[in-house]
């Protein structure tokens, strides 16, 4: 019995779309994100989330970093948003926004300063807090 090319293609698409979320290896690398506390002294409390994942609360000492990695979705809608607390301040920022960041590679280094986060690397840029 001859298999239909359309059936094989549909099966492949199903595996790519649904298999990735069920433990099959992805066909593109994970994204690594690092944030360094450059506030000049105080401990930074970081709490990052996406629509699907809450990464919990992390205490980041001065000049040290917090790191996490994730698999962006194929629709370019992955978003990780974080709150940053130190002293009596609470700030917010979208630390990974696929529409802004995905074309910049798979490794992101951020420095967190009192006046806002700065993305380091070839497309270095500082941003205001939200």
> Which pLDDT tens digit goes with each residue over 39-62?
999 999 999 999 999 999 999 999
Mean pLDDT value of segment 16-35 = 69
Percent of the chain with pLDDT over 90: 72
> Quick check: 70 and 80 in contact, CB under 8 A?
yes
* In the chain, where the domains are located: 25-124
> What is the distance between the alpha carbons of residues 32 and 40, in angstroms, rounded to a whole number?
24
- CATH topology for 25-124? Immunoglobulin-like (2.60.40)
What mean pLDDT is predicted for residues 5-33? 67
CA-to-CA distance for 81 and 95, rounded, in angstroms? 6
Residues 70-127: tens digit of each pLDDT = 999 888 999 999 999 999 999 999 999 999 998 999 999 999 999 999 999 988 999 9
pLDDT of 8 > 70? The answer is no
- CA angle 101/102/108 to nearest 5° reads 60
């Amino acid at each position: 019995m001859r298999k239909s090319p359309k059936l094989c293609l549909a099966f492949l698409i199903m595996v790519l779309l649904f298999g990735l979320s069920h433990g099959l290896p992805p066909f593109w690398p994970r994204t690594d994100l690092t944030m360094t506390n450059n506030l000049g002294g105080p401990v930074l409390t970081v709490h990052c989330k996406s629509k699907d994942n809450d990464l919990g609360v992390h205490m980041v000492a001065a000049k040290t970093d917090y790191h996490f990695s994730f698999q962006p979705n194929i629709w370019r809608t992955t978003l990780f948003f974080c709150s940053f607390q130190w002293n009596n301040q609470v700030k917010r920022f979208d630390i990974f926004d696929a529409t802004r960041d995905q074309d910049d590679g798979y490794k992101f280094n951020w420095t967190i300063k009192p006046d806002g986060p700065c993305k380091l690397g070839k497309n270095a840029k500082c941003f205001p807090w939200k």
